[in-house]
């Protein structure tokens, strides 16, 4: 299909983009890599009056360590650029399996986070790493933890006049280990269940036998990516051994309404979520030191 008619703007700076969003609000839609928005436009599932193309704003492509030892990724950094820059092997392995080469070369971190697809892989990875969204408007800048940023399918806490300029995380604990595991829908590659896990030693002490940093994030299961806090709470203060992980994994879907669709009914998805949480935590535990 052919998209509905729209006005097209290519701002030359972030400030220009913010001015356009402030003026046009909900009638405007931001486009960067276009890997999510363009199919929606062609199907007329989205029909904005204006497109604001931020794809050439180089200042939003930067990524690197922050002063406190954390890390920040600009909204326009592509999957491929994240892969080239990250020092986390498990993140590199996960990102290498997202989409295809075109998606990884054109799709952006900010686009994935702002799009908030409930089956997208990147939001779960970012949630497990404690990233926050850095949002900017003409009213100022605010930082919103991703745990709480995703409100529902394709719905976030971002206001119509705000632009996602980057995502930012604090330093990782010493000896941290991570993993991402997914059961994909074969045709689309989207996650039926996807799980990211990060575990770290108690108080950053290498050689400790207990863990007080446990993050488990799940995508594809509910109406939004979410932190499995019941799993995390069951493992904090333990050695994260196989028995403890197996018990904790049974809480993978606590507090959420599990999706049921043509690819996996609710009972199957619930059972698979527990299995994949267990496998992912075991892999993350094995990578910790």
pLDDT above 90 (res 202): no
pLDDT above 70 (res 22): yes
- For residue 4, the model assigns a pLDDT of 83
The CA-atom distances, in angstroms, between 257 and each of 126, 184, 225, 232 are 22, 20, 12, 19
Q: How confident is the model at residue 42 (pLDDT cuts 50, 70, 90)?
A: confident
Torsion of CA 127, 129, 134, 135, to 10 degrees: -10
CA angle 224, 21, 162 (to 5 degrees): 40
- For residue 175, the model assigns a pLDDT of 83
Distance CA 221, CA 260 (A): 9
Whole-model pTM over 0.85: yes
pLDDT above 60 (res 236): yes
Lowest mean pLDDT among 173-177, 202-206, 224-228, 244-248: 202-206
Distance CA 268, CA 192 (A): 10
**Domain annotation for the chain: domains and CATH numbers:** 7-53 (3.30.43.10), 60-169 (3.30.465.10), 177-287 (3.30.390.50)
- For residue 206, the model assigns a pLDDT of 56
Write the pLDDT tens digit of every residue in 54-86: 999 999 999 999 999 999 999 999 999 999 999
Q: How confident is the model at residue 198 (pLDDT cuts 50, 70, 90)?
A: very high
Write the pLDDT tens digit of every residue in 109-126: 999 999 999 999 999 999
What is the three-state SS of the chain?
CCCCCCEEECCCCHHHHHHHHHHHHHHEEEECCCCCHHHHHHCCCCCCCEEEECCCCHHHCCEEECCCCCEEEECCCEHHHHHHHCCCHHHHHHHCCCCCHHHHHHCEHHHHHHHCCCCCHHHHHHHHCCCEEEEEECCEEEEEECCCCEEECCEECCCCCCEEEEEEECCCCCCCEEEEEEEECCCCCCEEEEEEEEEEEHHHCCCCCCEEEEEEEEECCCCCCEECHHHHHHHCCECCCHHHHHHHHCCCCCCCCCCCCCCCCHHHHHHHHHHHHHHHHHHHHHHCC
Taking residue 90's Cβ as centre, other Cβ atoms within 10 Å add up to: 21
Please, are residues 145 and 226 in contact by the beta-carbon 8 Å criterion? no
Token output for 79:
């999957």
- Average the pLDDT over 165-193 and give the result: 92
């Amino acid at each position: 299909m052919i998209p509905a008619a729209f006005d097209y703007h290519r701002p030359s700076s972030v400030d220009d983009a913010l001015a356009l969003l402030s003026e046009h609000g909900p009638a405007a839609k931001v486009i960067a890599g276009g890997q999510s928005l363009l199919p929606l436009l062609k199907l007329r599932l989205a029909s904005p009056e204006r497109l604001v193309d931020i794809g050439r704003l180089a200042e939003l492509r930067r990524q690197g360590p922050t002063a406190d030892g954390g890390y920040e990724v600009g909204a326009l950094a592509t999957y491929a650029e994240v892969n080239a820059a990250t020092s986390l092997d498990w993140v590199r392995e996960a990102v290498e399996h997202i989409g295809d080469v075109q998606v990884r070369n054109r799709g952006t971190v900010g686009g994935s986070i702002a799009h908030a697809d409930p089956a997208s892989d990147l939001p779960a990875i970012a949630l497990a790493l404690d990233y926050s969204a850095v949002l900017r408007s003409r009213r100022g800048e605010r930082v919103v933890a991703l745990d709480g940023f995703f409100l529902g399918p394709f719905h976030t806490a971002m206001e119509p006049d705000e632009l996602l300029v980057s995502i930012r995380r604090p330093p990782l604990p010493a000896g941290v280990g991570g993993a991402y595991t997914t059961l994909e829908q074969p045709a689309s590659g989207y996650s039926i269940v996807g799980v990211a896990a990060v575990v770290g030693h108690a108080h950053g002490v290498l050689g400790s036998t207990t863990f007080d940093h446990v993050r488990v994030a799940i995508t594809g299961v509910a109406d939004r990516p979410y932190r499995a806090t019941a799993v995390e709470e069951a493992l904090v203060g333990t050695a994260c051994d196989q028995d403890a992980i197996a018990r904790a994994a049974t809480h993978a879907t606590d507090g959420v309404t599990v999706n049921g669709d043509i690819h996996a009914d609710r009972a199957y998805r619930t059972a698979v979520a527990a299995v994949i949480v267990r496998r992912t935590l075991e892999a993350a535990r094995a990578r910790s030191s």
